[in-house]
Chains A and B, each alone.
Chain A
């Protein structure tokens, strides 16, 4: 496949850019350092070079001008044309190219520049320029070491073509062959006469991810006399085509259909003997709970809940003019095998959900992300196919950075959770908030309407083999044989162009509606939209391809990224096509909607698939699953009481789950758009961690939204119900802490809340051999859902969208690593005036420090116990009624401007919160713990829910105490001296310099690992 033929090589030019002597080669230096640090390899000096292979007819002068004027920076670069040689003193090389069809944004940009300098129209969708990287290494490393550097640090062999070797033997180049057409082959796969075992085998071999019962249902559909007659009349073979089976597999995948959340579950509580049948977790605990919340809201004049569960994202009304659109979902499996690609397509894919809600064209406001990883300092043996947690962390972080930054969407909020059980499959949750006008060109923006004859338009990127089987692949457990094609490659620039186009097309009334091409590609997007009109005809030969050799079924199910499916009325085609050309977004008319009840797919007029829509969407057999709850046998540990906990606090601040994430946070742009009011880190130091983000909607109003994330998986080891309830409460109280208010407290107050639930659990389907504890895992899921229902009812907070990821297991070498059952609640709430937001850090000396809420003997699952290697038993429980009463009072206190700072208590309890609130400026505090029955360590480190650390100005103390009553415990005051002193019964139990505490937190393992470590007392500003 590479260019070895001398005849074709003549048409190919190579441009090499190297840094001029004396210019700092940061890229090369990083490779040398990473090889030493992560692989223990000594490379000597490493020099990097950029290579561009140009396969386009150019004269020598044109080539020279293009290289020197467009590609090279005259200050930085030397240029070499058509010679692939190394400078003196380098023994070995690594060349990183891309495999055929892999998105090459750099090549595309170079092509753009070539078109400009030649002033010739150059089809930018055909690849003429291929970008590559060349690394020259000083030391003569053996090929195996070079391969390790190449595969573990520089590229991913699923995506990249990697050449390594000795310079002396010549540098081997690689360029994929040029593009062409599709491979019009459709095969017929007979299901009749296959045994059960053969059906299961077929499903596994083709990654259909369908179980026996589902395969039988498919077989029966095709065997039915009615189906046979219809197929004969339409000119299709009796047996299904490969495309038809693929469409069914994508549509029925767990990823798309949520079969386990829709299943009938027989639940037994072995503790109490209680037995019950749950008729769909989704319906019972999520949909019905939200319906009940909506009923209560509307009864009270709060009718802001506009669209829930039925579109790509949930929508609530901000004010009479605009909607807030909110979506969070996961991208776990792709991130496990290609961390960078998985995360960037996760965030870009999630962006497409609000962008393609209703008519489409919402304006993205912010991104969030929550990441769960194994211990990045893991030093054991990795399983076959398993990537090191540190590598996953670094790749995912970079993917989130590029996905958000390059799209111009601020990443305003996030969290990272470490637990060894995420070492097989990481969890990568991506969230996006957006604002959409209530109407586009006189039509309700949130509606999806389609009429017969409307055209189906594919917009954005082209189709390749990347991402084939993403939907089905993520619906099964991951093992060492993960298919290469399941990896997707993101191109933020392609999506940015499509996004700009979509916003304008919607505002001009050119779009009837839209959806994104995510899991299942066109088969899912067109399949779902066709459900609205009652059918569709798709002409696959029209779909533009990245490269040749795709079969029709591959075109239809490919998950190539950055694509939208648009619905356009025939009369508006000319105008929208012109707009697409103007904005350089490729639009392709690939068919039209019908109402005949069939999804009809053709290639060059020949039938490729024709499926009954009713069967496709409703034909999947319901699952019946078994759940059994046994209370885990746990006990409270004996931990020797101490008289001074300064050292314990310092250790906690530097622990993996509490320490600063600054090195990660600062690589995300959290303030593009200029609307971020509460950022992840605040204060004069820029190092005070905040509980929730606050973002204003625009520059004309002070209305905004608070954004929080609740996730505490470790409590699930004690009780999944309490874990889920606590996670929900955590997200609620974070919003209360920044000055948000609970919904529906007063009639017609219009304070919207919009929550996404995201469940990530290990395989919870019982199997006596492969999953013997499946019933217990499913029982945990049931309990998580019960808590969710109770929490939504208690706070009157609705869910608007969500997702479940059911097979988060990694299996290799006979070992299975399963994630702990995890749920993330991602919450947004309207802030009437962002200027009233409260930040967590202390504001002024002599302000009075209060503990709000009650502390219980609840060290179970705490970071304090984890520090002692213990789990404990007393998991924190939420008292919803008490919590609601407290949150309501805090809202009232804030209305009266009585609160100067507020920080929610979570990991590490009161002691950690006290330390963190000093990080913003360098204040200290003197605090006296109250006399209670609780042991000292419990008072300091218990993680009881629904608590805050707040400060109040001396002049407001009387009003504040009158309002809060016994819910506020006065602890002490803020001091100027930078000392944190905590006393108990008159004795100091913590005494530390807050700068030292901040240094322990800042120099924790995350910042150490990612390279940049802040200096003590170093401030971003000079105002101190």
Chain B
């Protein structure tokens, strides 16, 4: 059920796709779709532009065992309205991953994901995908037992909004997704993005470990709770979280919607000021980071992989 990418007459970056496809050390990203997920195409485009292989599959293909997540390096949960967000964003999908048995021995997809992470692989959730990871307890997962510790709920404004925000990367964060990024402009598009941390102890623990990897900031570069700079009123002004390993990363804003410079609302003026600037969007860097990181791991770990496969 893998879906073909839209083909255009005039290929702009054909080499990005060719470089990745077929080569033995290619970084492989698995992107889940179906049941109301709707950002899978730009998610796949982001990985292709970053030089990885991107495969979009329907969630049922994974649940029914036709596709194994273990054949991939990065597991991705895109944005959208999985199951209509009817019970709260991401709830039904998280529930499916936790409880739906995928084999006769009672194994669930969550069991596979735990194994996937234990194998040193990566999980990324954006917007609705972030909500899934939080409701599942994969983020922030400070206790290590995949139990929900925080939640994401209705924006303080009470409404869904699409607007651009500026984020600062927490210098204490160690996730390879954010290597070398200091600030980032991205659109938010959600109605339930307000991070709620239930108590002071949890808050302190998140901060101490630097798991609040992205904050909404104001013109001075300081974290802000002021609407609309902080579009949802999140605790800790937090836009994204990682787990303590840095392998699991989720965020409310949409870096995959800023792959080209021309996605930014002020692109025309900026290009007038700086005609030679890159045509890449700032959001692409997150994908380039993780693809490069895994690529390096592949390069150094190649003999070890071979050994493992002989066992």
Instruction: Please judge, given known A-B contacts A70-B91, A672-B257, A683-B265, whether A406 and B272 are in contact too, CB under 8 Å.
Output: no
Q: Mark A1007-1024, 1 if CB is under 8 A from B, else 0.
A: 000011010001111111
Number of interface residues of A (CB under 8 A): 97
Instruction: Please judge, given known A-B contacts A493-B36, A496-B36, A673-B42, whether A73 and B272 are in contact too, CB under 8 Å.
Output: no
The list of the 6 closest CB pairs from A to B, nearest first, reads A408-B38, A701-B8, A674-B42, A319-B9, A493-B84, A109-B86
In the complex the two chains form, is A116's CB within 8 Å of B99's CB? Answer: yes
Contact of B269 among A119, A683, A1019 (CB under 8 A): A683
Quick one: which of B216-259 are within 8 Å of A by CB? 217-221, 228-229, 254, 256-259
- Interface flag for A835 (CB, 8 Å): yes
Not counting A1020-B163, A1023-B266, a sample of 17 additional A-B residue pairs whose C-beta atoms are within 8 angstroms of each other reads: A29-B158, A75-B150, A116-B96, A119-B101, A322-B6, A405-B189, A408-B38, A408-B80, A435-B6, A507-B4, A682-B268, A697-B8, A700-B8, A702-B12, A1019-B219, A1021-B265, A1021-B266
Q: Which residues of A contact B34 (CB under 8 A)?
A: 497, 500, 583
Q: Once the chains are docked, how many angstroms separate the CA of A703 from the CA of B165?
A: 28
Contact of A700 among B13, B83, B196 (CB under 8 A): B13
Instruction: Please judge, given known A-B contacts A699-B45, A1012-B157, whether A73 and B60 are in contact too, CB under 8 Å.
Output: no
Instruction: Please judge, given known A-B contacts A492-B84, A1020-B165, whether A920 and B266 are in contact too, CB under 8 Å.
Output: yes
One of A293-301, A303-311, A837-845 contacting the partner: A837-845
In the complex the two chains form, is B269's CB within 8 Å of A666's CB? Answer: no
Residue on A nearest B96 in the bound complex, by CB: A116
Q: Once the chains are docked, how many angstroms separate the CA of A538 from the CA of B204?
A: 66
A and B contact pairs by CB, cutoff 8 A, 16 listed: A26-B154, A30-B158, A70-B91, A73-B91, A76-B153, A106-B84, A116-B96, A363-B6, A408-B36, A408-B80, A504-B3, A507-B3, A583-B34, A673-B39, A674-B42, A682-B265
How far does the Cβ of B129 sit from chain A's closest Cβ, in whole Å?
13
Q: Which residues of A contact B196 (CB under 8 A)?
A: 23, 75-76
Residue on A nearest B183 in the bound complex, by CB: A1022
Name which of A70, A583, A696, A700 has the most chain B CB atoms within 10 A of its CB. Answer: A700
Residue on A nearest B106 in the bound complex, by CB: A119
- Interface flag for B207 (CB, 8 Å): no
Quick one: which of A386-431 are within 8 Å of B by CB? 401, 405-408
In the complex the two chains form, is A70's CB within 8 Å of B42's CB? Answer: no
Q: Once the chains are docked, how many angstroms separate the CA of A70 from the CA of B58?
A: 22
How far does the Cβ of B251 sit from chain A's closest Cβ, in whole Å?
15
Count of chain A to chain B residue pairs whose CB atoms are closer than 8 Å in the complex: 266
Quick one: which of A948-998 are within 8 Å of B by CB? none
Q: Which residues of B contact A175 (CB under 8 A)?
A: none
In the complex the two chains form, is A843's CB within 8 Å of B8's CB? Answer: no
Q: Once the chains are docked, how many angstroms separate the CA of A29 from the CA of B279?
A: 45
Q: Once the chains are docked, how many angstroms separate the CA of A548 from the CA of B246?
A: 54
Contact of B64 among A70, A108, A437, A582 (CB under 8 A): A582
How far does the Cβ of A442 sit from chain B's closest Cβ, in whole Å?
15
Q: Which residues of A contact B74 (CB under 8 A)?
A: none
In the complex the two chains form, is B84's CB within 8 Å of A73's CB? Answer: no
Residue on A nearest B227 in the bound complex, by CB: A1012
Q: Which residues of B contact A302 (CB under 8 A)?
A: none
Q: Which residues of A contact B219 (CB under 8 A)?
A: 1019, 1022, 1024
How far does the Cβ of A511 sit from chain B's closest Cβ, in whole Å?
16
Q: Which residues of B contact A677 (CB under 8 A)?
A: 262-263, 267
Residue on A nearest B82 in the bound complex, by CB: A493
In the complex the two chains form, is B263's CB within 8 Å of A671's CB? Answer: yes
Q: Once the chains are docked, how many angstroms separate the CA of A281 from the CA of B305?
A: 73
- Interface flag for A779 (CB, 8 Å): no
Q: Which residues of A contact B49 (CB under 8 A)?
A: 699
Q: Once the chains are docked, how many angstroms separate the CA of A1024 from the CA of B266?
A: 11
Residue on B nearest A405 in the bound complex, by CB: B160
- Interface flag for B100 (CB, 8 Å): yes
Q: Which residues of B contact A684 (CB under 8 A)?
A: 265-266, 269
- Interface flag for B299 (CB, 8 Å): no
Instruction: Please judge, given known A-B contacts A116-B96, A671-B257, whether A834 and B266 are in contact too, CB under 8 Å.
Output: no
In the complex the two chains form, is B269's CB within 8 Å of A920's CB? Answer: yes
In the complex the two chains form, is B163's CB within 8 Å of A75's CB? Answer: no
Residue on B nearest A119 in the bound complex, by CB: B101
In the complex the two chains form, is A406's CB within 8 Å of B36's CB? Answer: yes
- Interface flag for B1 (CB, 8 Å): yes
- Interface flag for A509 (CB, 8 Å): no
In the complex the two chains form, is A700's CB within 8 Å of B268's CB? Answer: no
In the complex the two chains form, is A697's CB within 8 Å of B36's CB? Answer: no
Residue on A nearest B202 in the bound complex, by CB: A75
- Interface flag for A584 (CB, 8 Å): yes
Quick one: which of A699-750 are within 8 Å of B by CB? 699-703
How far does the Cβ of B183 sit from chain A's closest Cβ, in whole Å?
9
Q: Mark B21-59, 1 if CB is under 8 A from A, else 0.
A: 000000000000111111101100100110000000010
Q: Once the chains are docked, how many angstroms separate the CA of A109 from the CA of B218?
A: 38
Residue on B nearest A70 in the bound complex, by CB: B95
- Interface flag for A686 (CB, 8 Å): yes
- Interface flag for B162 (CB, 8 Å): yes
Q: Which residues of B contact A493 (CB under 8 A)?
A: 35-36, 81, 83-84, 86
How far does the Cβ of A276 sit from chain B's closest Cβ, in whole Å?
46
Q: Which residues of A contact B36 (CB under 8 A)?
A: 406, 408, 492-493, 496-497
- Interface flag for A110 (CB, 8 Å): yes
Q: Mark A323-346, 1 if CB is under 8 A from B, else 0.
A: 000000000000000000000000
How far does the Cβ of B76 sit from chain A's closest Cβ, in whole Å?
14
In the complex the two chains form, is A844's CB within 8 Å of B38's CB? Answer: no
In the complex the two chains form, is A671's CB within 8 Å of B33's CB? Answer: no
- Interface flag for B148 (CB, 8 Å): yes
Q: Mark B77-119, 1 if CB is under 8 A from A, else 0.
A: 0011101111110011001100111000000000000000000
How far does the Cβ of A707 sit from chain B's closest Cβ, in whole Å?
16
Quick one: which of A647-701 are within 8 Å of B by CB? 666-677, 679, 681-684, 686, 696-701
Q: Once the chains are docked, how many angstroms separate the CA of A834 from the CA of B279?
A: 12
How far does the Cβ of B147 sit from chain A's closest Cβ, in whole Å?
8
Contact of A407 among B38, B83, B91, B267 (CB under 8 A): B38
Q: Once the chains are docked, how many angstroms separate the CA of A901 from the CA of B271?
A: 13
- Interface flag for A229 (CB, 8 Å): no
Q: Once the chains are docked, how many angstroms separate the CA of A1023 from the CA of B60?
A: 44
In the complex the two chains form, is B265's CB within 8 Å of A681's CB? Answer: yes
Q: Which residues of A contact B156 (CB under 8 A)?
A: 24, 26
In the complex the two chains form, is B159's CB within 8 Å of A667's CB? Answer: yes
Contact of B95 among A106, A117, A835 (CB under 8 A): A117
Instruction: Please judge, given known A-B contacts A70-B91, A699-B45, A699-B49, whether A406 and B64 are in contact too, CB under 8 Å.
Output: no
Contact of B164 among A703, A841, A1020 (CB under 8 A): A1020
Q: Once the chains are docked, how many angstroms separate the CA of A699 from the CA of B54?
A: 14
Q: Once the chains are docked, how many angstroms separate the CA of A573 from the CA of B229?
A: 53
Contact of A112 among B8, B92, B273 (CB under 8 A): B92
Q: Once the chains are docked, how many angstroms separate the CA of A106 from the CA of B60?
A: 21
Residue on A nearest B11 in the bound complex, by CB: A700
How far does the Cβ of A553 sit from chain B's closest Cβ, in whole Å?
32
Name which of A24, A110, A117, A671 has the most chain B CB atoms within 10 A of its CB. Answer: A671
- Interface flag for A113 (CB, 8 Å): yes
- Interface flag for B151 (CB, 8 Å): yes
- Interface flag for B135 (CB, 8 Å): yes
- Interface flag for A754 (CB, 8 Å): no
Residue on A nearest B161 in the bound complex, by CB: A666
In the complex the two chains form, is A73's CB within 8 Å of B58's CB? Answer: no
- Interface flag for A605 (CB, 8 Å): no
In the complex the two chains form, is A109's CB within 8 Å of B45's CB? Answer: no
In the complex the two chains form, is A110's CB within 8 Å of B198's CB? Answer: no
In the complex the two chains form, is A1020's CB within 8 Å of B8's CB? Answer: no
- Interface flag for B300 (CB, 8 Å): no
Q: Which residues of B contact A178 (CB under 8 A)?
A: none
How far does the Cβ of B158 sit from chain A's closest Cβ, in whole Å?
4
In the complex the two chains form, is A26's CB within 8 Å of B268's CB? Answer: no
- Interface flag for A900 (CB, 8 Å): yes
Q: Once the chains are docked, how many angstroms separate the CA of A940 from the CA of B192?
A: 45
- Interface flag for A71 (CB, 8 Å): yes
How far does the Cβ of A320 sit from chain B's closest Cβ, in whole Å?
6
- Interface flag for B278 (CB, 8 Å): no
